[in-house]
Chains A and B, each alone.
Chain A
Amino acid sequence: MLVYLIRRLLYVVPIALAVSVVCFSLVHIAPGDPLVSILPPDASQALVEQMKKSYGFDRPIPVQFAIWLGKIAQGDLGTSIATSRPVLQEITKAVGNTLMLAFAATLIGFTLGCFFGFVAGYFRDTLVDRIAVTVSILGVSVPHYWLGMVLVICFSVLLPWRPPTGAGPGSSAAWVWDWEHVKYLILPAVTMSVIPMGIVTRTVRALVGDILSQEFVDALRAKGLTDWGVFQHVVKNAAPTALAVMGLQLGYLLGGSILIETVFSWPGTGFLLNAAIFQRDLPLLQGTILVLAMFFVVLNLLVDTVQTAIDPRIRRG
């Protein structure tokens, strides 16, 4: 177990390095000059050169990369061109908001997905199964920015139950765990939970169907276990795969929430990324992408570790 963990940790180093190269170069491949947005259109050539120098854009790209990487190693992601605030500070704030949204959505999606999945798997080819499958297909197929807007229309405009946008009363107030704030979380979290819900439902349904058709389930019944006892065995057999799928979904949610965060004006990483792209804010963009990519790496590490702890067969591999 320990050896496996250490080996798995060592894998992270080359992955992280590769990720940083891709993050850095992708942004440089994209067209557009970051300085255009902060300089007046009639700025003199000398001013442009001076600005370039002060941001380090005048040096060759590999050198820029080396400097960037060196600074990251010291925990400095640079300064945002648009806001002149440290990128790290901007990201930390946004990451907090996104994490909250992503965890809330995963919690909802995983709970509902497991419920539907188990029901569908246990009652295969019945009406309940068809309903669960339909719900899961709808969940995966419905575009979530559209669903977000529909929810806003239904529950904020037609029935003013929930606030439509933002992350709390007042503009940039800090998050507090009270109803006034949680209220703002509900609609975006529900919108976001729909895809993981659908995917988890389908995965769990297939898993449960597969497990129930195995001979050991007969053997468990043959030794006198009740349906509840057999169910516990099914859960433990399904758990590693279901958790892995949930982990990946959480990863997608952490990075893939640009649309939802924009629809609901949720000040998370997606919102930040969106702003950085439109303002050609290179340091902010690079920093945000890197942080999001590293989330994936860490998350996969966590999922692998948990899986190894649950399923004894992986340890030998």
Chain B
Amino acid sequence: MTNRPLVEVRDLHVRFRGERNVHAVNGVDFALNRGEVLGILGESGSGKSVTLKALLRLLPERRTEIKGAIRVGDEDVLALGPEALADFRGKTASMIFQEPMLALDPVYTVGQQIAEAVERHEKCGAAAARRRALEMLERVRIPSPERRLDSYPHEMSGGMRQRAMIALALACRPQVLLADEPTTALDATVQIQILLLLRELQRELGMAAIFVTHDIGVAVEVSDRIAVMYAGRIVETGSVADIVRRPAHPYTRGLLASTVHGAMRGRRLDAIPGAPPALSEAPASCSFAPRCGEVQPECHARVPDAVTVAPAHLSRCLRSVAAGG
């Protein structure tokens, strides 16, 4: 086996056409090794979910323009024909969604929905697919799985629905799991259970995973590496320790400062002033500059290159000091 990464994204651009053009993703690069978990952290509209959906080409084709390169395993995702794309989805890479109530078809039972994916990819009979569905429900620890197989999504609780969604996504043993804010719609106590379950299943199955979240706590909990996104670009990547202890980009520092965790009682939280830019034009300079407390004149001149501040720790800020430089 070669030791090239399992997933490689090069210079990914996503633009939505319509009455108003939106440059949602503006040059994203990252790589993911087998068995590794990458957390993509960012606020609403930073392009994190769009990046994730682009990996499965789930964005509406008529209104979306995707440029760059996406490779998962041996597949050049952007070049796949309709048949090959359907074979790739769910088998090589699969996805879990933010709101399981909306992501499950309301008029099919949970068992049918899992078995359907298994039948589709493993070319097995209905009985074998149902057995696999049962086995998956047991794996995600849904109580009385035989009965739940014939339950409809509306008959289950939120946490149980998300477990079912996980069972569905993992039913065909994908090499990489894409999770789009999988715990955001859940109660705080259920969030932890689901995160622990995901982390455990990821290790057991040796999958790679990409977690998209706006919650630093979640990203730290599940990830090996974190990529921080802002206005359609990754502004900083590094190991969890790098990002949390030695943040190099002012935006990352702002995010860390604005968490409740460790804040002093009675003191206002340090919020980042201003709002993210509207992305009707592709930003031609550092898009964080207008909100940045350390802004300098040259920040408005061009898009900063990624600076290697430490091994495998990159920051897209002019003021970041290169390692050993």
**A-side interface residues toward B, CB under 8 Å?**
214-216, 218-227, 229, 233, 236-237, 310-313
Nearest chain A CB to B5 CB, angstrom units = 22
Q: When the two chains form their complex, are residues A219 and B97 in contact, meaning their CB atoms are under 8 A apart?
A: yes
Known contacts A225-B116, A225-B120, A227-B82: A219-B103 contact under CB 8 Å: yes
Contacts of A216 in B (CB 8 A): 102-106
How distant is the Cα of A105 from the Cα of B212 in the complex, in angstroms?
53
**Which B residues are in CB contact (< 8 Å) with A233?**
105, 108
Bound Cα distance from A236 to B99, whole angstroms: 21
- Is residue B94 within 8 Å, beta carbon to beta carbon, of the partner chain? yes
Total A-B residue pairs with C-beta atoms closer than 8 Å? 80
* Chain A residue, CB-CB nearest to B90: A224
Q: What separation, in Å, do the CA atoms of A223 and B99 have in the docked complex?
A: 16
CB-contact partner of A222 in B82, B83, B95, under 8 A:
B95
A313 near B103: Cβ-Cβ < 8 Å: no
B contact residues vs A (CB 8 Å cutoff): 53, 56, 58, 82-83, 86-91, 94-95, 97, 99, 102-108, 116-117, 120-121, 152, 154, 165, 168-169, 172
Interface of chain A, helix or strand or loop or mixed?
helix
Chain B neighbourhood of A223, CB < 8 A: 89-90, 94, 116-117, 120, 168-169, 172
Q: Write out the residue numbers on chain B whose beta carbons fall within 8 Å of the beta carbon of A221.
A: 56, 58, 86, 89
Which residues of the partner chain B approach A311 to less than 8 Å between Cβ atoms? 107
Whether the pair B58, A218 counts as a contact (CB closer than 8 A) is yes
Closest Cβ of chain A to B251, distance in Å, is 29
- Which residues of chain B are near A215, meaning CB under 8 Å? 97, 99, 102-103
Which residue of the partner chain A has the closest CB to B109? A312
Q: Is the CB of A224 within 8 A of B91?
A: yes
Known contacts A224-B117, A224-B172; 11 further A-B pairs (Cβ under 8 A): A215-B102, A219-B104, A222-B94, A223-B90, A226-B86, A236-B107, A236-B108, A310-B107, A311-B107, A313-B106, A313-B154
Instruction: Report how far A233 CA is from B103 CA in the complex, Å.
Output: 13
Measured between C-beta atoms, what is the minimum distance from A307 to chain B in Å? 11
Are B86 and A224 touching (Cβ within 8 A)?
yes
Report which of B56, B107, B154 forms a contact with A237, defined as CB distance below 8 A. B107
Cα–Cα, bound, A310→B152 (Å): 12
Residues of A within 8 A of B165 (CB): 219
CB distance from B106 to the nearest CB of A (A): 6
Query: Cβ of B152: which chain A residues have Cβ within 8 Å of it?
Result: 312-313
26 residue pairs bridging A and B, Cβ less than 8 Å apart: A214-B102, A216-B102, A216-B104, A218-B53, A218-B58, A218-B103, A219-B165, A221-B56, A221-B86, A222-B58, A222-B90, A222-B169, A223-B116, A223-B120, A224-B89, A224-B90, A224-B94, A224-B172, A225-B117, A225-B120, A226-B82, A226-B83, A236-B107, A310-B107, A312-B152, A313-B107
B106 and A224 contacting across the interface, CB-CB below 8 Å? no
How far is B86's CA from A313's CA once the two chains are assembled, in angstroms?
30
* Contact call A237/B106, Cβ cutoff below 8 A: yes
- For the complex formed, measure the closest distance between the CB of B217 and the CB atoms of chain A, giving whole angstroms: 25
Residues from chain A with Cβ under 8 Å of B107 in the complex:
236-237, 310-313
> In the assembled complex, which residues on chain B have CB atoms less than 8 Å from the CB atom of A237?
105-107
B103 contacts which chain A residues (CB < 8 A)? Answer: 215-216, 218-219
Q: How far is the CA of A89 from the CA of B10 in the complex (A)?
A: 80
How far apart sit A93 and B205, CA to CA, in the bound complex (Å)? 70
Specify which chain B residues have a CB less than 8 angstroms from the CB of A312 in the assembled complex.
107, 152, 154
Cα A225 to Cα B82 with chains together (Å): 10
Nearest-neighbour CB distance to chain B for A75, whole angstroms, equals 41
Residues of chain B within 8 A (CB-CB) of A227 are 82
Give the docked Cα–Cα distance between A222 and B103 (Å): 10
User: Closest 9 A-B residue pairs measured CB to CB?
Assistant: A224-B90, A223-B90, A219-B103, A215-B102, A223-B117, A222-B95, A224-B89, A312-B152, A226-B86
The CA of A64 and the CA of B79, in the complex, are separated in Å by 80
Contacts of A229 in B (CB 8 A): 116, 120
Tell me which of A214, A218, A224, A236 contacts B120 (CB under 8 A): A224
Q: How far is the CA of A214 from the CA of B99 in the complex (A)?
A: 11
Alpha-carbon separation in the docked complex, A124 to B41 (Å): 35
Q: Measured between C-beta atoms, what is the minimum distance from B84 to chain A in Å?
A: 11
- Knowing A215-B99, A227-B82, the reply to whether A222 touches B56 (Cβ < 8 A) is yes
User: Which of A223, A225, A312: most chain B Cβ within 10 A?
Assistant: A223
How far does the alpha carbon of A224 sit from the alpha carbon of B173 in the complex, in Å? 13
In this complex, what residue of B is CB-closest to A237? B107
Could you tell me the distance in whole angstroms from the C-beta of A129 to the nearest C-beta in chain B?
13
B105 touches A225 (CB 8 A): no
- Which B residues lie within 8 Å of A222 (CB)? 56, 58, 89-90, 94-95, 97, 169
- Residues of chain A within 8 A (CB-CB) of B169 are 222-223
Report the bound CA distance from A226 to B58 in whole Å: 13
* A59 to B241 CA separation, bound complex (whole angstroms): 97
Residue among B106, B107, B117, B165 facing the most chain A CB atoms (10 A cut-off): B107
Question: In the bound complex, what is the Cα–Cα distance between A311 and B304 (angstroms)?
Answer: 55
Bound-complex Cα distance A12 to B81 (A): 55
Q: How close is A121's CB to chain B, nearest CB, in angstroms?
A: 15
Give the residue name and chain of the B residue nearest to A228 (CB). Answer: B86
User: B304 CB to closest chain A CB, in angstroms?
Assistant: 34
| Smallest CB separation, A233 vs chain B (Å) | 5
CB contacts (< 8 Å) of A220 on chain B: these are 105
Of B88, B105, B121, B154, most buried by chain A (CB within 10 Å of CB) is B105
- Nearest Cβ on chain B to A228's Cβ, whole angstroms: 10
Chain B min CB distance to A128 (Å)? 14
Using CB atoms, name the residue of chain B closest to A217: B105
Is the CB–CB distance between A218 and B106 below 8 Å? no
* Nearest-CB residue, chain B, relative to A311: B107
Residues of B within 8 A of A218 (CB): 53, 58, 97, 103
